[in-house]
Amino acid sequence: MLSGLLAPTSGQAFVCGFDVATHPLEVKRRIGVLPESLGLFDDLTIEEHLLLTANICGLDKLQSQTRIEQLLRVLGLTEGRNTFAGYGSHGMRKKTAFAMALLPNPELLFLDEPFEAIDPATSRIMRDLLVSAAARGITVFLTSHILPVVERIAHQFVMIRGGKIVWNSPAAELPRSLEDLYLELAEPPASEELEWLEYKPS
């Protein structure tokens, strides 16, 4: 809803000082979004996605070329730049969508499950980029179930269970590990033993 994927039904929300319901365009000009679905054209190459994003966001030619080349290099996509998104690995697709979110140099990044289903190297690259972006004043708002990774980079944690906030605190105020807290507050694990699950020589 904050990123414009869903229309608000009631209430008010402000992003970068603009009401998302009344000034959605002003909001979208200031944010970068990595949707869960990634939102890629299967029949466009990775480089074409970035060029298209640059055109949509109104970057000039020199800015586009410089940023695109750098993003391709940093995210390890240079060799695969001519790969169609539909034929790329999940990691490659996710990095493409991530690069599209970073390209316009947004004030705020919304990332939906950025660390899910990607290899450790990609995860590390994305993590380092986010830490670097945050250090330069860009707000990063991400949802994730990969708690050990999130615990290393986030400054503020919010847990939601059944549509309600069950925890909201700065990282320094976490009483125990994020995973333990999550299991306690949001989703206690089932503790049933599967007695039949054992090795039986045939």
Q: Point out which residues bind another protein (CB under 8 A).
A: 3-5, 25, 28-29, 31, 33, 35-44, 48, 52, 55-58, 84
Q: Rounded to the nearest whole angstrom, what is the least distance from the CB of residue 52 to another protein in the complex?
A: 5
Q: Rounded to the nearest whole angstrom, what is the least distance from the CB of residue 79 to another protein in the complex?
A: 21
Between 143 and 171, name the residue whose CB sits nearer to another protein.
143
Query: Residue 92 contacts by C-beta under 8 Å, 6 or more apart in sequence?
Result: 46, 77, 80, 83
Q: Rounded to the nearest whole angstrom, what is the least distance from the CB of residue 20 to another protein in the complex?
A: 12
Between 80 and 147, name the residue whose CB sits nearer to another protein.
80
Between 15 and 149, name the residue whose CB sits nearer to another protein.
15
Between 14 and 41, name the residue whose CB sits nearer to another protein.
41
CB 85 within 8 A of CB 49: yes
Q: Rounded to the nearest whole angstrom, what is the least distance from the CB of residue 161 to another protein in the complex?
A: 25
Between 42 and 180, name the residue whose CB sits nearer to another protein.
42
Q: Rounded to the nearest whole angstrom, what is the least distance from the CB of residue 1 to another protein in the complex?
A: 11
C-alpha count within 13 angstroms, C-beta hemisphere, residue 49? 32
Q: How far apart are CA 146 and CA 65, in angstroms?
A: 33
Q: What is the CA angle 135-140-143, rounded to 5?
A: 140
User: Angle formed by the axes of helices 120-135 and 90-102, to 10°?
Assistant: 10
Residues 159-185: b if buried by 16+ CB within 10 A, e if exposed: beeeeeeebeeeeeeeeeebeebbeee
**C-beta atoms surrounding 70 within 10 Å:** 13
Q: Rounded to the nearest whole angstrom, what is the least distance from the CB of residue 26 to another protein in the complex?
A: 9
Q: 120 by DSSP, 3-state: which?
A: helix
Between 55 and 70, name the residue whose CB sits nearer to another protein.
55
